[in-house]
Amino acid sequence: MSTENILAAGTQMGEVELLVRDLDLMTRFYHEAVTLDVQQAEGDTVILGRDGISALKLRRETDLPPLRPGDAGLYHSALLFPDQSSLALAVATVASREPHSFSGSADHLYSEAFYFDDPEGNGLELYRDRPRDQWTYEAGGRIRGATLPLDPNAFLRTHLTEDVIAAPPREGMTLGHIHLQVGNLDQARSFYVDTLGFEIKTELPQALFISAGGYHHHIGMNTWRSNGAGPRAATFGLGIVDITVPARVDIDALASRLTFAGIQFGFDGQTLLFEDPWKTKLRVRAAELS
């Protein structure tokens, strides 16, 4: 892929929108258990994040079907914490307030991750990255990952100190990545890599991990339980996924690639809005225009 067709190194995830049945219940989970701040609450919408940076938007809907396990859609959203201490505090708070939500943990070599399910069944990952100089690289700049055991109790004993509990850290948390269920990895590669301009960082028989700027992944995609899934109808769960690129020139370049690929999009002067092959809505905005 030529450099002009690659997303800029400063590309980051913005926020992920969840369409929910019970706005009050979901707000309590993400605010009180996951420890996100309520940044805005207006009508049927609540926006949560930390330190002025939004990560999650909850939007109440009243008449949508649930996402079925084999459908395309959200596998999990992933909140990135700056260090082990802040991650440990969040994990401990979720585990104490919503103990049945815990679904697993793993050492991925480049990160340490803990997995939960929110009250409406949306997957959630809380994680922290190891420093990049500790990542293991393979041919072509790809990153070696793994799924190794990570003892949550040992992690909390080591990193949940009295100082952290006494002065809870509030800065540095962002939406690090999202992970999608898709119907076909070749189709996903064509759309997300060849057209949008993400780069492949890890590739498995049934999963693909892509990013901009050398990150381990901004978007993960798998067919573990959704192989062959077609375009999804509107359901509870995943709404719009926001991606932030550095500058207006990056918006213009992406619009050109979408046009060349015959992909319809909307442009309001600041953001591009379009759908992937499974009708997941993606919105791309430029940081310099925000």
5 in helix, strand or coil?
Answer: helix
What is the 8-class DSSP label of residue 234? P
Mean pLDDT confidence for 89-100: 96
Check if the beta carbon of residue 55 is closer than 8 Å to that of residue 277.
Answer: no
Mean pLDDT confidence for 88-101: 96
Burial of 233 (0-12, 13-18, 19+ CB in 10 A): exposed
Q: How many CB atoms lie within 10 A of CB 255?
A: 16
For the chain, the distance separating the N- and C-terminal CA atoms, rounded to the nearest angstrom, is 29
Q: Report the Cα 65 to chain-centroid distance in Å.
A: 23
pLDDT in tens, 247-265: 999 999 999 999 999 999 9
- Predicted local confidence at residue 140, as pLDDT: 86
- Predicted local confidence at residue 290, as pLDDT: 66
Task: Mark 150-176 as b/e (b = at least 16 C-beta within 10 Å).
Answer: bebeebbeebbeeebeeeebeeebbbb
- Predicted local confidence at residue 115, as pLDDT: 98
Which residues make Cβ contacts (< 8 Å) with residue 252, sequence separation at least 6? none
- Tell me the pTM: 0.96
- Predicted local confidence at residue 1, as pLDDT: 52
The helix-helix angle for 84-97 and 152-159 (nearest 10°) equals 120
Which amino acid is residue 35, in one-letter code?
T
**CA angle, 108 as apex, 107 and 112 as ends, to 5°?**
50
Work out the mean pLDDT of the chain and round it to a whole number. Answer: 95
